[in-house]
C-alpha cells in the first residue's frame, strides 16, 4: 500500500525571472518527521506556501506546474481553509499570533474548525494550551508573549485544528538552548501522538536527531534527500551549506 500522506509532484513556481521552486517531487510518509533544510532563499517557505495554498504577496498562490496530493486527493489550488479542514495545517516563520487576542482566543480559532460551539472550543483550547505548557498564561494577550511562547502558542493553535499533517516553519529559530530542548521534546511528543510532521529548520543539530527523513533544497532545486546520516555525508549538501572549499576537504 501507498504509505504517503502527502505527495508533491513536479512543483515549479516562478517569481518573474526567479524560479523559487524548480520541478520538486517528494513524498511524506505517515507518522514520520520529515525535515526540509536548505540555505536562506532556497525556496523552503515558498514550497510550504504552495503545499498549503497560502497567499503569496504580489503573485498567484498556485504553482506554475505540478500538483500536490494529500491523502490521495488532489489539493492543488484549494484555499488554505479547506486544506486545513482536510487535516493539514501550518505555522508561520516569524510566529504570527493574532496579536490583540488572548492565548486562549488564538487557540480557540483553531479549535473552531471542528466545532461551532464556543464552550467546546474553549475546552479544547485549554487542553492544547496545556499540551504546550501555556495553560497558566491563557488569559494573557498574545502580543505580550516571548518568542518561545509565541512559537508554542502557534503549535497549540495548529494542533487545535486536529491535523494529520503538521507543517512547522522554523519552529526552533531564535530560541535559547533550554527553550530549544523543550521545543524539540514537544515536537517529538506531538509526533508520538500520531501526527505526521513536516518541518523547515535551520538548527541542524536539533533537527538531525529527531528527523526520520530529510529533504535538501538549494536555489529552488531539490539537491538531496534521505536519512539524516545519508544527507550530511552528501557532498552536494556540504557544498550548499559550507561552500566549495569545505566540500573538497571532506
Partner 1 sequence: MVMVTKNNQKNKIYQVLIVILVFLIPLFIRNIFFHHVLIMVVLYATLGLAWNLMGGYLGYVSFGHATFFGIGAYTSAILFRNFGVNPWLGIIIGAAIAVTVASLISFPVFGFTLRGHYFAIGTLALGEISRILAENFNYIGGARGILIPLKASSFSIIQFESKLPFFYIFFTFLLLTLLIMNAIVNSKMGYYLQAIREDENVAEALGVNTTKYKHFAFYISAFIVAIVGSFYAQYQLYIDPNMVFGMMISVQMALIAILGGCNTLIGPIIGAMIFIPLSEYIRSFIGGEGRGINLIVLGIVVLIIILFQPQGVAQLIKSFINKEGRNNE
Residues in 116-145 that interact with partner 1 by CB under 8 A: 116, 118, 121
Number of residues this chain uses to bind partner 1 (CB under 8 A): 30
Distance (Å, whole) CA 238 – CA 227: 15
The CB-of-247 to partner 1 minimum distance in angstroms stands at 38
* Spatial distance between the Cα atoms of 174 and 153, rounded to a whole number of angstroms: 15
Closer to partner 1 by Cβ: residue 149 or 218: 149
Task: Give the nearer residue to partner 1 in terms of CB position, either 14 or 79.
Answer: 79
- Within 13 A of 172's CA, how many CA atoms are on the CB side? 23
CB closer to partner 1 out of 51 and 206:
51
Residue 79, classified by CB atoms within 10 Å of its CB into exposed (0-12), middle (13-18) or buried (19+), is middle
214-249 CB burial, b ≥16 within 10 A, e <16: bbbbbebbbbbbeebeebbebeebbbbbeeeeebee
Nearer to partner 1 among residue 69 and residue 101 (C-beta): 101
Figure out which of the listed residues 9, 22, 62, 92 binds partner 1, where binding follows CB under 8 A: 92
User: Which residues make Cβ contacts (< 8 Å) with residue 38, sequence separation at least 6?
Assistant: 44, 216, 217, 218, 240
**Nearer to partner 1 among residue 86 and residue 234 (C-beta):** 86
* Residue 233 is a binding residue for partner 1 (CB under 8 A): no
Min. distance of Cβ 115 from partner 1 in angstroms? Answer: 8
Q: Is 161 in the site for partner 1 (CB under 8 A)?
A: yes
Lateral strand order in the sheet of 65-70: 18-29, 4-15, 65-70, 73-74
| Contact predicate 68/76, CB 8 Å | yes
Residue ranges in 23-62 that form contacts with partner 1 under rule CB under 8 A: 52, 54-55
Binding segment toward partner 1, per CB under 8 A, in 94-102, 128-136, 218-226, 236-244: 94-102
Residues 59-88 binding partner 1 (CB under 8 A) are: 79-82, 84-85
Residue 29 or residue 102: which is nearer to partner 1 going by CB? 102
Q: Which CB atom, from 18 or from 118, has the smaller least distance to partner 1?
A: 118
CB of 90 to partner 1, least distance (A): 6
Spell out the residues 6+ positions from residue 91 whose beta carbon is closer than 8 angstroms to its own: 151, 154, 155, 157, 158, 166, 167, 168, 169, 171
The span from the CA of 30 to the CA of 194, in Å, is: 9
Residues in contact with partner 1 by CB under 8 A are 52, 54-55, 79-82, 84-85, 89-90, 92, 96-101, 105, 108-110, 112-113, 116, 118, 121, 157-158, 161
Amino acid at each position: 500500500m501507498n504509505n504517503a500522506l502527502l505527495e508533491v509532484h513536479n512543483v515549479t513556481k516562478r517569481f518573474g525571472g526567479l524560479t523559487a521552486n524548480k520541478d520538486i517531487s517528494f513524498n511524506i510518509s505517515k507518522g514520520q518527521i520529515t525535515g526540509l533544510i536548505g540555505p536562506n532563499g532556497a525556496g523552503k517557505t515558498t514550497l510550504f506556501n504552495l503545499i498549503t495554498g497560502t497567499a503569496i504577496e504580489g503573485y498567484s498562490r498556485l504553482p506554475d506546474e505540478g500538483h500536490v496530493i494529500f491523502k490521495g486527493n488532489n489539493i492543488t489550488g484549494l484555499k488554505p481553509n479547506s486544506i486545513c479542514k482536510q487535516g493539514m495545517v501550518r505555522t508561520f516563520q516569524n510566529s504570527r499570533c493574532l496579536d490583540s487576542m488572548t492565548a486562549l482566543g488564538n487557540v480557540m480559532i483553531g479549535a473552531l474548525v471542528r466545532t461551532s460551539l464556543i464552550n467546546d472550543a474553549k475546552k479544547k483550547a485549554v487542553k492544547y494550551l496545556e499540551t504546550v505548557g501555556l495553560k497558566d498564561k491563557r488569559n494573557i494577550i498574545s502580543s505580550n508573549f516571548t518568542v518561545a511562547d509565541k512559537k508554542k502558542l502557534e503549535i497549540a493553535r495548529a494542533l487545535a485544528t486536529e491535523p494529520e499533517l503538521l507543517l512547522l516553519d522554523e519552529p526552533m529559530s531564535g530560541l535559547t538552548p533550554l527553550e530549544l530542548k523543550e521545543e524539540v521534546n514537544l515536537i517529538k511528543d506531538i509526533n508520538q501522538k500520531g501526527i505526521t510532521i513536516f518541518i523547515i529548520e535551520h538548527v541542524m543539530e536539533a533537527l538531525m536527531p529527531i528527523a526520520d527523513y530529510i529533504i535538501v533544497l538549494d536555489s529552488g532545486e531539490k539537491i538531496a534527500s534521505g536519512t539524516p546520516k545519508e544527507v550530511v555525508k552528501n557532498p552536494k549538501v556540504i557544498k550548499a551549506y559550507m561552500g566549495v572549499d569545505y566540500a573538497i576537504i571532506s
